[in-house]
Chains A and B, each alone.
Chain A
Amino acid sequence: GQNIDQPTEMTATEGAIVQINCTYQTSGFNGLFWYQQHAGEAPTFLSYNVLDGLEEKGRFSSFLSRSKGYSYLLLKELQMKDSASYLCAVVDSNYQLIWGAGTKLIIKP
């Protein structure tokens, strides 16, 4: 079967750095997304990785290792507005998105 694993919940302090991990086992791989979702709202796009390595975009960076079936999202200089769920999703061999259950990130002052 296909599986995406993320921690259920994480807590971090405003101004700090947090890393959210995602491991996956899917039938094929055609890229990995990270989306941010605030409660009651639609997911918003953060990053897309298809090759190994680190992609940096402002305060957010995403890393991919295809050989390890592993990705992480790194958030720097945390702000209170970063409190949200972070969803990892993999594009499988049929070009369909397989989603993790999301990681709820709680930011404390």
Chain B
Amino acid sequence: ETGVTQSPTHLIKTRGQQVTLRCSSQSGHNTVSWYQQALGQGPQFIFQYYREEENGRGNFPPRFSGLQFPNYSSELNVNALELDDSALYLCASRPETGGEKLFFGSGTQLSVL
């Protein structure tokens, strides 16, 4: 049990739609990062937030955006969905102190039809 929860667990959308994925971290976990994992691949870094500000971004277009809230929850928003956006989306958090270990949520499986 990592203390990180994601919702929903599964989601089906159609091309062109918008989606919001949610993550709730443990108290004191000020850093949250989001990853996209396609089938058979390792996770790809989307972006990271620290104390409600984005402080790192991977090679993803601007239609991928996020928010982090003071209550240790965060969102990943994807606009204008494309078929290739179908993947497992993982949220991971890290405490203010205590090293680099990431605590992962169980993910949201997004299917774009």
Chain A residues at the B interface, C-beta cutoff of 8 Å: 4, 30-31, 33, 40-45, 48, 87, 89, 91, 94-102
- Cβ A42 vs Cβ B90 within 8 A: yes
Which residue of chain B lies nearest to A102 when distances are taken between CB atoms in the complex?
Answer: B42
Task: A102 to B40: give the CA distance in the assembly, Å.
Answer: 8
Contact of B56 among A4, A96, A102 (CB under 8 A): A96
- Cβ B109 vs Cβ A100 within 8 A: no
Least CB distance from A51 to B in Å reads 13
Given contacts A43-B90, A94-B56, contact A100 B104 (CB under 8 A): no
Task: A101 to B33: give the CA distance in the assembly, Å.
Answer: 18
Interface size on B, residues (CB 8 A): 24
Contact bitstring B89-113, A, C-beta under 8 A = 1, else 0: 0100000000111111111010000
Q: Is the interface of B mostly helix, strand, loop or mixed?
A: loop
Which residue of chain B lies nearest to A42 when distances are taken between CB atoms in the complex?
Answer: B104
- Cβ A48 vs Cβ B99 within 8 A: yes
Contacting residues of chain B (40-91) with chain A, CB-CB under 8 angstroms:
40-45, 48, 56, 58, 88, 90
Least CB distance from A68 to B in Å reads 21
- Cβ B42 vs Cβ A41 within 8 A: no
- Cβ B40 vs Cβ A48 within 8 A: no
Which residue of chain A lies nearest to B109 when distances are taken between CB atoms in the complex?
Answer: A40
